[in-house]
Amino acid sequence: MPQTTYRQQVILSRALQELQQGKIPEASLESTLFAFGKAGYLPARSAIEQCLNHPSVEVRSTALKVLTHAFHLNEYGETARHFLLDDPDEEIRAAGAQALADLYSQSRDQQTLTLLARVVANVHEVTSVRKAAYMAMHAIIGSDPRELFRLSRRLVDMEKDIDWEMVNTYL
């Protein structure tokens, strides 16, 4: 957890209290969750978890990002899968793929790779989600973030630029 002073702990604690009492306005929810994530403030975990059901797409995806990327809590792997496969919003589905990448980075987890490969191969899925799933596969296989950036840049045409041999390995 990043080092915080006593004073900062007081601020975080008050912000958590306000969040629990529903007093943080929607426009500030995302930024407040970010602040908890940046500070690695685990006492807010339960309140952040509540936000996974928030009607706002931005709030839901931020909550998942904080729990998986900032807190790195593997328990939210199932939530990430659910987001990826079942949510009607493409941004949430892409956030689900990215959360799986955050949780299983460099693990070569077969089950997750298979799940992601199916999304990449699904021609009925929108491009942004397929692309997020493909990038997540590379992160799980072990690509360096710098390689991922270069890969993402080259990825223009889903059908031509994807390494289908690699994807098919996990189908």
d(CA 16, CA 122): 40
Among 49, 52, 54, 69, binds another protein (CB under 8 A): 69
Minimum distance, C-beta of residue 14 to another protein, in the bound complex (Å) = 5
Helix, strand and coil in the chain, % to nearest 5: 75, 0, 25
CA dihedral 90, 93, 99, 100 (to 10 degrees): -140
| Site for another protein contains 80 (CB under 8 A) | no
Q: HSE of 36 in the Cβ direction (CA atoms, 13 Å)?
A: 30
Which position among 15, 51, 113, 117 is part of the footprint of another protein (CB under 8 A)? 15
- With 0-12 / 13-18 / 19 or more C-beta atoms within 10 angstroms meaning exposed / middle / buried, residue 57 is middle
State the minimum distance, in angstroms, from the CB of residue 88 to another protein: 5
Asked whether the CA dihedral 120, 132, 84, 80 is positive or negative, the reply is: positive
**Contact residue for another protein among 45, 73, 91, 121 (CB under 8 A):** 91
* Closer of 18 and 109 to another protein (Cβ): 18
Q: Which of residues 147-166 bind another protein (CB under 8 A)?
A: 148-149, 152-153
Contact 116, 102 (CB under 8 A): no
Binding site for another protein (CB under 8 A): 7-8, 10-11, 14-15, 17-18, 21, 23-25, 27-28, 30-32, 34-35, 37-39, 57, 62, 65-66, 69-70, 88-91, 98, 126-128, 131-132, 144-146, 148-149, 152-153
